[in-house]
Amino acid sequence: MENILSVKNLTKSYPRFKLDNVSFDIPRGSIMGFIGENGAGKTTTIKSILNLIKKDSGTITLFGKENYENDVTINESIGVVFDDNCFQETMTIKDINNILKRIYRQWDENTFYKFMDKFKLPDDKTIKGFSKGMKMKLSLAAAMSHHAKLLILDEATSGLDPISRDEILDIFLDFIQDENNAILLSSHITSDLDKIADYITFIHEGKIVFSKSKDELRENMGIVKCGARAFNDMDKSHIIRYRKSNYNYEVLIDNRPEFMKHNNETVVERCTVDDIMLFYVRGEK
């Protein structure tokens, strides 16, 4: 499968933080969930991809091209949303449409106004009177109204209520029905990623812990809850991380099918993206 975005050994240093050899790929027709705790390096990675900050080293390839910085076609093929409002508060939807129409060669006024109707955003009010969720919907609509092929969304669903999020997630799923499109979605709302992501890239303290398909994670990883004796007897080669509370252990294991073959009386629970992140960040090795 061809990759729409490929990040190889990306490095960027700040005085107190280093993005360290970050690598991952996003195949066409897929949604990549980008997860990690606060300060893990998600926005720094995204800004490097978008050339908003200068990387120290590494290779970023978008749509098969490495040096895309001044390539208008590539830049216009990306729809970007950050978690803060990028429009002037005094503007109305009509003003925004007029401005974006001049910026994007492929601006699609029809699609934009369809989104405005769908999201019930008033076109006579200034942005100042919009709630956080309304501003977020507006930004998402703008990102999806110029025939972008890659959406890069940094915490773009964080201000939305569960109903609006569900509506947006459906729109994302629609978007990738076109096999030439893809989405990079950084989010702390891991239940959203459980619902729609095809791949998960997990970054911790500037380093990639894993970048895998969600099916692979779901099939292979599992949680065993047991007492001290069972934990001591356990084949340690399967343990990724464990958490201990009083005399009980919760253990995140890899290769669930293999583990179950040799421990057929042990219950291995399925885990969520949230569980995996919690074990990696807070569990013991």
Interface residue list for ligand ATP (CB under 6 A): 14, 17, 36, 38-44
Q: How far is the CB of 206 from ligand ATP (least distance, A)?
A: 7
Q: How far is the CB of 14 from ligand ATP (least distance, A)?
A: 3
Identify which of residues 239 and 273 has a Cβ nearer to ligand ATP in the complex. Answer: 273
Q: How far is the CB of 222 from ligand ATP (least distance, A)?
A: 27
Q: How far is the CB of 223 from ligand ATP (least distance, A)?
A: 25
From the CB of residue 213, how many other CB atoms can be counted at a distance below 10 Å? 14
> Contact 6/61 with Cβ under 8 angstroms?
yes
Residue of 219, 171, 223, 217 whose CA lies nearest to 190: 217
Q: What is the DSSP letter of 198?
A: S
Q: How far is the CB of 70 from ligand ATP (least distance, A)?
A: 23
Identify which of residues 85 and 220 has a Cβ nearer to ligand ATP in the complex. Answer: 85
Identify which of residues 36 and 79 has a Cβ nearer to ligand ATP in the complex. Answer: 36
Q: How far is the CB of 157 from ligand ATP (least distance, A)?
A: 13
Identify which of residues 35 and 93 has a Cβ nearer to ligand ATP in the complex. Answer: 35
Identify which of residues 36 and 222 has a Cβ nearer to ligand ATP in the complex. Answer: 36
Q: What residue has token string 């830049």?
A: 75
Reading the block at residue 72, the tokens are: 């208008």
Burial class for 212, CB neighbours closer than 10 Å (0-12, 13-18, 19+): middle
Reading the block at residue 90, the tokens are: 């005094």
Identify which of residues 44 and 211 has a Cβ nearer to ligand ATP in the complex. Answer: 44
From the CB of residue 53, how many other CB atoms can be counted at a distance below 10 Å? 15
Query: Which residues, 6 or more positions from 257, have their beta carbon under 8 angstroms from its beta carbon?
Result: 219, 220
Q: What is the DSSP letter of 64?
A: T
* CA trace torsion 254, 258, 264, 265 (10° rounding): -10
Q: What is the DSSP letter of 160?
A: S
